[in-house]
Chain A
């Protein structure tokens, strides 16, 4: 029997650029040309002002740990205990993620610790943005 894998996202037309970016090793956000708001999740208009004039921008990939839980129950593709985290990007938006290259303990996972993006390839089409403690 094949090992259970983590849930695989299925891109939609308005999110395709995000997943194309992840596949290319880039974290892509969107920025409003009218009001300059940087936002996530992907939409072809600004959720701040409603403008349809928006651009895809490459994010720095840097952020800090905003909050998390350490889940102790089983989930497909995970070995408990594992942290489910929310990272606050330097550009402002927050996203859910997992923290890798780090002990999954309250002692190791300190709120506001600096993080940087890394990518885990799930298959030929999907790479998933994850975060690890920033160097230096």
Chain B
């Protein structure tokens, strides 16, 4: 795909984030979508492409009253929206549609009108993982981390710092769920969930949504502050965490990330801002290593030394992340929203003069990955 041919011209989250028991999941979709359409200065009738995950595009199109010429129902977990951005950019460039709406919503906390996600007892996961007592993502996602720590020489204190640093970013964000400062000691003394991870190393559970509007860069010139898509990548590996090629790294990450960097034609020193989907505290380490910012063996020290915190040389997860900002279940959309805010120059914890942002997402338990590189430069 060619660089800077497509731009984000509308971006918004739901009016409220957190606990929203008075709205169904579909209402949250519509609230985010209408906010994004308004942000772009468009009307519903201007939208001719629809992408969403978990819910189907026809549910969204019907609910909002959209007549579409292109849809994408890719549903690979929390990074589905990164893949939607990639697919929408290709579709717009190919002329399949002109203006795409990508929506996410999840009543993750309140469970109102939520689409169930079931694992059949005759599926691979049902036969070879569920009988061993896996339940929530917290029981599965951290399974690789002890091996990662042993291979790369990462300490418990270093991984605890991920949560500490992200709380520092969250403290600057009025919409963040958790803003009270925490220490490494607080993290390592918090309630044990799935050793080695404690509650402060696990994502929040909240309600909310977000939406993006994409169009061609040529049309984008007429909109306020378009954010261009410089490079994209995606990959999937396995639905079973136990079947990853290795726990020392994520194959989906190290396929998607470099693809996006090559497409963008940039190197790591060009990057001003990074989002790495943090459902759990080890993900920023995997992300920094697999995206080639540094060897995996240096990721823990890099974070512990404060390089990703406010004022550090590589700002990471500047909204507070899934650990402190919000996490409705599929957090990728909120990472994308923060990258767009940073590129528009309107983020609550704005990185001064940021010109290029990398937004990296995970789906399932390292099952899928999507990387989008944004820029505000034409």
Chain A residues packing against B (C-beta within 8 Å): 6-12, 15, 40-41, 66-73, 75, 77-78, 81-82, 84-86, 94-98, 106, 111, 122, 128
* A66-B147, A71-B194, A96-B132 known; A7 vs B126 contact (CB < 8 Å): yes
Q: Is B129 positioned at the interface, with any CB of A under 8 Å from its CB?
A: yes
Could you show 15 A-B contacts with beta carbons less than 8 Å apart? Answer: A6-B133, A7-B130, A9-B130, A11-B122, A66-B247, A67-B147, A71-B133, A71-B135, A73-B194, A75-B134, A75-B139, A82-B133, A84-B140, A84-B194, A111-B147
Is B300 part of the contact surface with A, judged by Cβ < 8 Å? no
Contact B138 A96 (CB under 8 A): no
B119-151 interface bits toward A, Cβ cutoff 8 Å, 1 = contact, 0 = none: 011101011111111111011101111110010
**With A and B bound together, what is the CA distance between A122 and B121 in angstroms?**
14
* B242 nearest CB neighbor, chain A only: A96
New contact pairs (12) apart from A9-B128, A10-B122, A75-B133, CB-CB < 8 Å = A6-B133, A9-B127, A9-B130, A10-B127, A12-B127, A40-B243, A41-B243, A73-B194, A85-B132, A86-B247, A98-B132, A98-B133
Q: Are A69 and B122 in contact (CB under 8 A)?
A: no
B195 touches A (CB below 8 Å): yes
Q: How far is the CA of A128 from the CA of B131 in the complex (A)?
A: 8
A67 close to B126 (CB less than 8 A) = no
Number of interface residues of B (CB under 8 A): 37
Known: A6-B133, A9-B128, A75-B133. A67 touches B144 (CB 8 A): yes
Other-chain residue from B121, B133, B144, B150 in contact with A10 (beta carbon distance below 8 A): B121
| B interface residues with partner A (beta carbon < 8 Å) | 120-122, 124, 126-136, 138-140, 142-147, 150, 191-197, 240-243, 247
Residue from B138, B143, B240 in contact with A68 in the complex, judged by beta carbons closer than 8 Å: B143
Q: Classify the interface of chain B: helix, strand, loop or mixed.
A: mixed
Closest to A43 in B: B124
**A106 interface neighbour in B134, B144, B193, B195, Cβ under 8 Å:** B195
Asked if B126 and A68 sit within 8 Å, CB to CB, the answer is no
Across-interface contacts of A70 in B (CB, < 8 A): 192, 194-195
Listed residue (B128, B131, B138, B191) with the most chain A CB atoms within 10 angstroms of its CB: B131
User: Known: A73-B194, A86-B242. Is A10-B132 also a contact (CB below 8 A)?
Assistant: no
Q: How far is the CA of A61 from the CA of B128 in the complex (A)?
A: 16
Q: Measured between alpha carbons, how far is A91 from B136 in the docked complex, in Å? A: 30
Q: Is B144's CB under 8 angstroms from A75's CB?
A: no
Shortest Cβ distance from A16 into chain B, in angstroms? 11
Closest Cβ neighbor of B130 among chain A residues: A7
Give 7 nearest A-B pairs by CB, closest first. Answer: A70-B195, A67-B147, A96-B242, A9-B127, A7-B130, A10-B122, A69-B194
Report the separation of the CA atoms of residues A78 and B122 in the bound assembly, to the nearest whole angstrom.
21
* Residues of B contacting A40 in the complex (Cβ-Cβ under 8 angstroms): 243
